[in-house]
Amino acid sequence: MATADQPCYTIIYESSAEYPSVSELRTALEKGSDDVKLEALRKIVVSTINGNPQPSLMMPIIQFVMPSRNKQLKKLLHFYWEVCPKYDENGKLKQEMILVVNAIRNDLQHPNEYIRGATLRFLQKIANESELLEPLIPTCRACLEHRHSYVRKNAVFALFSIYREFEHLIPDASELMSTFLAAETDSTCKRNAFIFLAYCDLRKAVDWVLGNHDNIPTLEEGLQMSVIEVVRLDCKSDSTHRARYIRLIFELLNVSSHAVKYEAATTLTLLTQNPAAVKASASTLISLIIKESDNNVKLIVLDRLEVLRSKHEHILDGLIMDVLQILGNSDIDVRRKAMGIVLSMTSSRNVEEVVLFLKKQLLRTQEKAAEFDKASEYRQLLIQSIHVTAIKFSEVAASVVLALMEFLGDSTGSSSGSNPSTTSTALDVIAFIREVVDKFPHLRSSIFNRLVPSLGEIKSGKVFRGVLWILGEFVGIQDSYASASDAGEAIKQCLEGIRTCIGDIPIYIESAQEENVTDDSTVPKEAGGGKPKVLADGTYATETAYTATGSSGPRSEKARPPLRTLILGGDFFTGTVLAVTLTKLVLRFDGLSLQETDSNTLRAQAMLIMTSIIRVGHAKSSPAPGATLVQIDEDSTERIMNCIQTLSELTGQAKVDTDDDEVIVKEIFLRDTKKAFERMINAQEKRAAEKRQAETSRKAFTVQVDDLLNFRQFSKKGVDQDLDFEEDLGRATGAADVHEDFISNLSRISQLTGFSDPLYVETYVKMHGFDIMLDVLLVNQTANTLQNLCLDFATLGDLKIVERPAVYTIAPHGFQSIKATIKVSSTETGVIFGSILWEGPNMSEACVILNDIHIDIMDYIKPAYCNEAQFRSMWTEFEWENRVNVNSTVSDPREYLQHVMKSTNMSCLTPDGALSGDCDFLSANMYARSLFGEDALANLSIERTETGTVTGHIRIRSKTQGIALSLGDRITMSQKDSKPLSA
C-alpha cells in the first residue's frame, strides 16, 4: 500500500490564521464537550484532506472521541477513518487500527439501526482495505438478517463492494444472495441483492428473472431497471431466452415509470428489428416526450428517436402525426429538434397532412400570439420548415406560398422601425417566395398577382428590398406568360403597384427659403390649405402641399405610403434597389417590342422617381418631421445615376446579335444578376450536398477483402447497436480513439528551466477535453539530495489548478515525474507560471523560477457554419469587438484569407462565387465555435495596394472579451510570419 497512489479528495479551503496547533487540538479532544470535539475533529478532517494528516492525533481520537455516543461525532469519525493514513512507512497496518476495527464491529452490532446502516455505508468507502475488512465479514453477513430494511439494504451493498475488490472474502456470494432474494420482501433490498447476484452469477440472475416473469411489470421501478440491465447482459451472447425477453420488454413499455419505459424502448430495438417492435419503441418514446415535463429529458429522448428513425427510415413514417404533437411544447429547442425529425420523416404520402398541420400552427401563432411562448421564433421555424417541404415536394408549393404572403407585413412595427423578430419572419417568407418563383415558373403569375397588392403592408426596408429584387428579376419574363402583351401588362401592373407605394411624385419639394425664391408665384398654393409663412428677411411665402403633408404631425406620417416613408427616413439603400428594379422592368418592357408610347411613358415615370430619390438625398433640411437629416451616400448616388443614364440612352433599336452598348447594358441588368443569383444558389446546394455526403460517409462502413472478421458483429448483423454499454462509454469519452503521435508530442514539450540550473525541468502539455494535463519531468543535476521539494504552479486567466502539489525527495542525479491537472473554463489565452522550492545541504532553502507556459486557444476552437441570418443576428447581439489592422506582404487577398482561416481555425461563410473573379479588394465573413459553446465572428475587409501588399482590417466579435482578444492576438502574431501559423 505504501507504493500505491493515494486517493484524490476534494481540496477544502482552510484559513491558516485560524487553524489551531496540535496541542490545542489534543486538548480539545481530551477535555472538550461534544460540540468542541466535533469542531476539532472537523478541522482535523479538513487538514488531512488537504495533505496534513497529523498522525499524532490518531490515538487521542481513539481514546476520547470514539467512545462517544454522539451520532454526529460517529458520522464525522467515519469521514476521518476514510481519509486518515492507515499504513506506516513499511506498508503495514498501524497498530492503532486494531482498536478502530473493534469499534467498527461494535457499531455493526449496535441496537440502533441508524448506526448500523451508517457504519455499513462507511464500509463501502473503504472496500479496498482488505486487512480492515476481513475481521468484519461475519458481522456484515449477520446484518442481512436484521429486522430493519435500512440495515439489510446497506449490508447487501457493503458485501457487494467488498466482493468486487476481494472475491475470496465471500466465496459463497451467489448462494448467499439467492437465499436472501428468495426470502426478502422489501423492494429496495431486493433490487440491491439482484444487482449483487447479477454481478457474481449472471446465470442465477437470469433464472430469477425467468421464474418471476409474470410479476416483473408490477415490481418497483429500481428492480425493473435492474432486470432490463440483466437482459442486456444476457443478450450479449446468443441467449436462448431472447423471445421471452422480448415479450417481457413489451410489457414493460406500458408501466407507469418514465425511466423504465425509456430503457425498455431502447432495449427492445437491441433485441429485435421487427417492424412492430420498432414502431412500439418509437411510440413509447414519442409518448414520453409529450408527457415528460423536463425539457432536458425531452431533448435526450428526441435524440434517441432521431437515431431510431435514421436506422429505420420508412418504418416510422406512419407516426409522423404523433411526432407533430410534440410541437405543442413551449420550449423552442424541443420544437426545433422535433421539427427536424418531422422534415426527415416527410414523404409524398404524408406531405399534405404535414403542411396542413404546419399551416394551422402558423395561423395560431398569428391569432393567439400571447398564448405562445416565443411566438415569433416559432413562427419563423414553421415558415422555414414549410419552405423546405414545399421546395422538396412541388405539389404543395402552390397551396402554401399564397398563405405565407400574409406574414410579409410587419403588424408590430411602426413607421420609424419594425420588430426585428417579425422582420426575420418576413425575410424567411421572402426567401421562400424567391426560391419558388425561380424553380416553379408556372406559379409566377399567381404569386405576382398577390405580391404586388401586398406591397402597401410592408414596413421593413429589408423586406422591401427582397420583394423589389424578386419583382425586378422575374416579372415580365416572356416564358412565364402566354403572350408578350400579357407580360407587358404584368410589368405595367407591377410599376403601378410600386408607384402606389411611393405616393405623389416628386417625393420631396424644398421650401421657398431653400430655393431662394421670394416670389409667391414660384410656389404653388394648395387650394384651401395654403398657410402664409414669414421668412427670415420679412417676406411671405406659402408652404406647398408636400411640405404641409410632411409637417402635419403623426397622423400624416402614418398615412404616408411605406416606401415613401423609408426614403424620406434616409433609407437610400432601399431607394437604390428601387431604382435598379425600375430599370430592369423598363428594359424588359422595351424588349417586348410593344407600343413605343407606353415604353416612353414608363421610362419617364421611372426616371422621375429616381431623380426624386436623389433630390431627397440632397435636401438641406430633414424631409421627415422630427428626424435627423441624412444625406445620400456616394455609392447610392452613382448607382441611381447609372440607372438614369441607362434609361435616358434607351433607343429600342438595339439588336441582340450585335455588340451595341445598349445590348451589353441589357445583358448586365437582365441576365448577369440572374446568373449571380444562380451561382449563390448552387453554392448553397453544394454545401448542403457536402454535408449530406459527410453524414452518409460517417454511417457507411467499408470492409476490405483482407480485413479480419469480427464474429460477434457477424452474428449480430442488423442489430441496432452494440449491447456493451461500457464499450459505448469508452467510445463516447474518446478512450478508445487515442492515437499518440510521437512527433506531435515532441512539439508540445516546454522547457521550464535552463541546463545550468540545479534542477532541469521540462513538461509535456496535453489537452484533454476541458483539462490541461502537465507531465513534468525533474532532473537533479547536483550531487546533493534535494529534500522537501515542492513544485508550485499558479495560473493567469480562466484556468484553475485541480490538485495541491505534494512534497518529494530527489536523490543525487535522480529523476522525478510529477503530473498536474489544470481545469479550463473558457476560451481565453491563459498563462501557467510557477516555481520550485527545496531544501539542500544544511537545511538551506533554494528556489528556481520556471518559464511561463502559454496555453494556445486554438486547441479549443473548431470551425463551424451558420447561415447569413444567424451571423447577422449574433453580430448585432455581441458586444465585444476587437479590430485588428492588416498590413501584410502577401499580395493575393484570397491567399491572405486562407492564411487567416488556417491561423484561427475559422471557416469562411462567404460563398466561393462571391470570392471568385479578379479584384483588388475582398470582404468575407468567418465563424468558429469553441468547445465551451462560445461563438466567434470575424469580418475581413482588405484591399491590394499599388505596391502589391494587402491592407485593411479584421473585426472580431464575441459575447465574451477573452476569445475576441485571444483571436486578435493570434492574428497579429501570424502576420509577423509570411507563412501561416500551424494551429
Distance CA 957, CA 954 (A): 10
Q: How many residues comprise the chain?
A: 983
pLDDT for position 60: 87
Q: Is 679 exposed, middle or buried (0-12, 13-18, 19+ CB in 10 A)?
A: middle
Helices 484-502 and 461-474, packing angle to 10 deg: 160
pTM over 0.75: no
Helices (H), 346-475: 351-367, 375-392, 397-404, 420-439, 444-451, 461-474
Question: 193 with 181: CB under 8 angstroms?
Answer: yes
CB 161 within 8 A of CB 140: no
Q: How many helices (H) and strands (E) does the chain have?
A: 41, 18
The pLDDT value given to residue 955: 92
Which of 311, 264, 317, 316 is CA-nearest to residue 719? 311
Q: Which of 372, 475, 466, 468 is nearest to 428 (CA)?
A: 466
pLDDT of residue 521: 41
DSSP state of 727: H
3-state secondary structure of 887: strand
Tell me what pLDDT residue 558 has.
55
Per-residue pLDDT at 374: 65
Closest CA to 469 of 493, 439, 497, 433: 433
DSSP string computed for 91-134: SPBPTHHHHHHHHHHHHHT-S-HHHHHHHHHHHHHTTT-HHHHG
- Non-local (6+) Cβ contacts of 579 within 8 A are 609, 610, 613, 639, 640, 643, 644
DSSP 772-825: EEEEEEEEE-SSS-EEEEEEEEEEESSEEE-S---EEEE-TT-EEEEEEEEEE-
**Which 3 state secondary structure label does DSSP give 144?**
helix
**DSSP string of 464-492?**
HHHHHHHHHHHTT-GGGSSSHHHHHHHHH
pLDDT score for 769: 66
Please state the separation of Cα 533 from the chain's center in Å: 62
CB atoms within 10 A of CB 515: 13
The confidence score (pLDDT) of residue 54 equals: 80
The answer to whether residues 69 and 110 touch, using CB atoms and an 8 Å cutoff, is no
State how far the alpha carbon of 157 is from the alpha carbons of 54, 216, 778, in Å. Answer: 32, 22, 44
- Which three cell numbers, joined as nine digits, stand for 766? 496535453
Question: Which residue in this structure is represented by grid cell 416606401?
Answer: 563
Nearest of 832, 854, 864, 884 to residue 932 by alpha carbon = 864
Q: What angle do CA 271, 301, 328 make, to 5 degrees?
A: 135
Nine cell digits for residue 178? 439467492
C-alpha span between 622 and 569 (Å, rounded): 9
Nine-digit cell string for 936? 466567434
Series of mean pLDDT values for 10-residue runs along the chain (983 residues): 47 61 85 87 84 82 86 87 83 84 88 89 85 88 90 90 88 88 88 89 88 86 88 79 87 89 89 87 90 88 88 82 85 87 86 86 72 69 84 80 72 43 72 82 82 81 86 79 79 86 74 43 42 52 44 50 81 87 86 75 86 82 68 85 84 54 75 78 77 65 57 46 51 48 67 88 80 86 86 78 78 87 73 85 82 77 82 86 85 86 86 74 88 85 85 88 82 68 37
pLDDT at 740: 52
> Rounded distance, CA 77 to CA 61, Å?
9
Cα distance between residue 248 and residue 499, in whole Å: 73
DSSP string, 814-854: -EEEEEEEEEE-SSS-EEEEEEEEEE-GGG-EEEEEPPPEE
Euclidean distance between CA atoms 815 and 778, whole angstroms = 6
Buried b (16+ CB within 10 A) or exposed e, 782-799: eebbbeebebebebebbb
Radius of gyration of the chain (CA): 39
